[in-house]
Structure 1
């Protein structure tokens, strides 16, 4: 007997999660990258996942786990977030990550001024398992222009065809970054959860889209069994405003106390279908757009 979850899973076959927080990590994680990929493969037939850490270059995790990943159909990719844990705007770290197979560069997340403003005491995020220090990282110099390291990093992103994320920065900083990226010929850009931490209004996101960026929304925010539990109708409003052609749905899950990514995908995408989102649009947002952004097609 076919269940509702089975029907939703069929629609999501071949999807790609650009934002999986599996481990290892200083934050408590529900499972490691191999276990996350296995769950994605067995339950959704996902094409790929990107594993993200706020603290370190996950490409090295993926390479170390290669013997366990070799027989999986779901591919696993890593990248690097430019927080103070890796030296901030560190072109040397970016070169190593991308030239060893990394697919994504996230500009500052936890180290961004906007993130620190929203979570200045670490509230809203797990407690790290070891004592760490985090310093603010800014992309602008004293005159308000981009620091020279930003240009070096963008050159490596262009060279490797990697995906550029605005991280958790202020919307004006993301726009400045994307404008420079566009001048350098970078075409794969993304804004993560614009209405969480970043605070980008739909009108600002339309400007990001005009610059060539995609807008990513996290099913973690709209899952009734997650911590945030936003109304899926709000997500539908965003999809209608931006359009499925430049929208991506990712999980942002893997935390120890949150649901598994696949479970959240099934619940939230089922809710979107019930709210009138067409199957082909859902596939575009979960499969086609993220596949393009990773250069898989």
Structure 2
């Protein structure tokens, strides 16, 4: 990391952000079709990423696995040179902590399993406690059935037995385990048991938001070998979900280290900046904070490639 005149790149090398977009990987792309309002679909996302030379997008929908679609699009539109990936979200629509859904997703080519997100008890508790939560998180286009709260631990904080074979399957397939929207108190026993069972790829999404992880928690999670993914939508001006400023991003990166930090867009919502604009803006922010070209490339490309298993 450099500190002397960090904004000098704007004069000496104004094309640097565009170069850093080339080869970038987004592990948090919210394209559609979806019950959430999205400004683009999976095919459009592929084209948008291709237009700036991005390498890969991991499609995240809270209600279904996009793996069958990504496999088809990769085959039909390989000339765009963007690899689409997806995973299995363990929410109510996929049967919750459903080993069958995990197995099916993996057999189709899923690269990641998300623990409960919108269906997690922690997420729903946040929703109930904060009367403005609906303004801070995207809502479905139409009212849907009230979710059943999901957790991975019992009242004593011990992992539920149905979680264990899921961890074994993730370990055997060597794919990514994401903590989803679980509370930090649930993530500790989840990740500790996952490591004991041979899971090598651990990811914590937006640890400081909803998950309620502190900077010290981030340091300890990284010490366990986990990657921390911070959502660009929470830092980009013009985003409906901008909660943080550059100094807070720097504190998060410092706590998690450059080598274990991933910056994912978490974009695709109607009314928010485009995915590639969000990427470019946060890349510029990191450069202005004094991070080098090598540092920024790690956070928007290399680290994600290592975690997800792209050569």
Give the TM-score normalised by structure 1: 0.94
Aligned pairs for 1:1-297 within 5 A:
6-43=15-52, 45-66=53-74, 68-120=76-128, 123=134, 124-133=136-145, 134-229=147-242, 230-297=244-311
Report the Cα offset of residue 141 of structure 1. 3.1
Distance 1:160 1:222 in 2: 34
Q: String of CA shifts for 1:30-78, please: whole Å, max 9, x gaps.
A: 11112112111112x1111100001111112323545543332010001
Higher mean C-alpha displacement, 117-126 vs 214-223: 117-126
Distance 2:305 2:75 in 1: 24
Q: String of CA shifts for 1:68-105, please: whole Å, max 9, x gaps.
A: 43332010001111111111000000100111100111
Higher mean C-alpha displacement, 142-151 vs 164-173: 142-151
**Quick check: 1:202–1:238 contact (8 Å CA) kept in 2?**
yes
Q: String of CA shifts for 1:185-240, please: whole Å, max 9, x gaps.
A: 11111111111111100111111112110111111111012113321121012112
SS at match of 1:155: helix
Report the Cα offset of residue 183 of structure 1. 0.3
Question: Which runs of 5 or more residues in structure 1 are unaligned?
Answer: none
**Quick check: 1:20–1:52 contact (8 Å CA) kept in 2?**
yes
Distance 2:199 2:217 in 1: 20
Give the TM-score normalised by structure 2: 0.90
RMSD: 1.8
